[in-house]
Structure 1
Amino acid sequence: MKLSEVKRLLKAEVVYGDHKLETEVELAAGSDLMSDLLTGPTAGALLLSGLNNLQVIRTAVIAGFTGVVLVRGKKPDPEMIAQAKIHDVPLMTTPFTLFTACGRLFKEGVRGVERRKKTP
């Protein structure tokens, strides 16, 4: 699924990254606890979170996420947007809860990162 389809399904607003809407996404992870996401494997997955701070962008960069979706209508502050631009991480916001957003993506074929085998 392309990020453009994620945008449509989640009724999301693109805060940064319109130029990357053709990027493919097959996996996603939803969490507010960034340390859980650093246990991998997450490269190429989409990160959904209700956490609205710089740590989300830092985690996305370190773990290799394709993009970030903030849930519950959270609006990123200017510093978070600036970091998304610096690291070229697509950033969206959706009115849906984390549960609903993940469910909508799952229904359309996006699977969780646990479906990918960890590398030793």
Structure 2
Amino acid sequence: MLVRDLIPLLDAELIYGSDDIDIREIHSGCGSDMMSDVLAFVKDQPVLLTGLCNPQVIRTAEMMDIMCLVFVRGKRPDEKMIELARERGICLLATPHTMFTACGILYKAGLVGGA
């Protein structure tokens, strides 16, 4: 699945990363607001769905080679976070769906868990 495929599935808005959405492949997904769980369990170029909106999310994504972040429940990163994602080449999306619903939509579309 490509990052571009996530946008219509999740009714998402692309916040950053338009140059990469047609080439970045997503092999797995993870939903968490606890970055310690992401550090412990995530692998294989995932997309991370989270409601946590702070710079630590971007730093965790960089450490774990996460190429796309989806902010759930209508959350939106601030300009500092967008700039940090830009510097690290991480795509940012925002969806109005809850984490549970967004994860279910991606699972139904064939995306597997990253643990």
Partner amino acid, structure 1, of 2:39: L
Partner amino acid, structure 1, of 2:97: F
* Superimposed CA distance per residue, residues 4-35 of structure 1 (whole angstroms, 9 cap, x where no aligned partner): 11011001111100111121112001000001
Superposition pairs of residues 1-120 of structure 1, within 5 angstroms:
1-22=1-22, 23-114=24-115
Q: Which runs of 5+ in 2 are unaligned?
A: none
Q: Supply the RMSD in Å over aligned alpha carbons.
A: 0.9
Give, in angstroms, the shift of residue 89 of structure 1. 0.3
Partner amino acid, structure 1, of 2:3: L
Runs of 4+ in 1 over 3 A off after TM superposition: none
| 1:41 to 1:74, Cα distance in 2 relative to 1, 3 A | closer
Kept in 2, the 8 Å contact 1:10–1:96? The answer is yes
Q: Which runs of 5+ in 1 are unaligned?
A: 115-120
Kept in 1, the 8 Å contact 2:72–2:98? The answer is yes
Length-normalised TM-score, structure 1: 0.92
CA distance, structure 1, for counterparts of residue 29 and residue 90 of structure 2? 15
Alignment size in residue pairs: 114
Length-normalised TM-score, structure 2: 0.95
Give, in angstroms, the shift of residue 40 of structure 1. 3.5
